[in-house]
Amino acid sequence: MSSRVAKGIGSLLLAAALITVFVEVARRGSHPIPRRPRVTGPRRGPGQAGTLPGQFYGRVVGVSDGDTISVLYGSGEVRVRLSGIDCPEKGQAYGTRAKLFTSQAAFGRNVTVQVVDHDRYGRVVGEVILADGMNLNHELLRAGLAWWYRQYSSDRELAGLEAQARAEQRGLWSDASPTPPWEYRKRPATPRRAPAWP
């Protein structure tokens, strides 16, 4: 008899817990959870203060492509564009491999971001240092999965890493004539075809 009573009480407690969960879900559905505040950093220039230090530490929670990640810092996510390099775009050869490389190296891991600048999209531009001390920007170049972004960087070390990967035909340099992403982005978008109706 006592085991039946215990089972009945257990069932009632479970039902009460489920009702509480459903009520909470319904309540949040009518009042959406506020989005995390966007963390912004300092822009270069006189008198422009920001909320990010010149270097910060956080966990990588997103990888948009080979050279853009999201880092959890404070109460928000900071989008970080790797400085001095440009990885192939998603539609380009080696674009998927570059994203996979960055994901395997950094996703879910803590990194140090050394802030260099801010770009026009509001992203932090910086160097990403992995937990083992490796520089992700350098490793992408070394693997032949990025170009040295000459237009925005005068870093001779990056130039040397690209030249070495090119000479050894690593990654994208194994192609006869790889297209730099900045040229690929200038191409007009292919118009989408309308569906054919029967």
55-184: what CATH class?
A: mainly beta
Token reading at 137 = 């920007």
> Measured between alpha carbons, how far is 99 from 69 in angstroms, rounded to an integer?
10
Per-residue model confidence (pLDDT) at position 27: 57
Looking at the annotation, which residues are catalytic? Answer: 81, 89, 123
Length of the chain: 198
The domain segmentation of the chain, as residue ranges, is 55-184
Place of tokens 């972004």: 149
Per-residue model confidence (pLDDT) at position 188: 77
94 vs 1, which has greater pLDDT? 94
CB 68 within 8 Å of CB 75: no
Q: pLDDT tens-digit profile of 32-61?
A: 433 333 333 333 333 233 567 799 999 999
Whether 96 shows a pLDDT value over 80: the answer reads yes
HEC letters along 164-196 = HHHHCCCHHHHCCCCCCHHHHCCCCCCCCCCCC
pTM: 0.69
DSSP string for residues in 62-94: EEEETTEEEEEETTEEEEEEETTEEPPPTTSTT
What's the count of helices (H) and strands (E) in the chain, helices before strands? 5, 7
Q: pLDDT tens-digit profile of 146-176?
A: 999 888 887 889 999 999 999 999 999 999 8
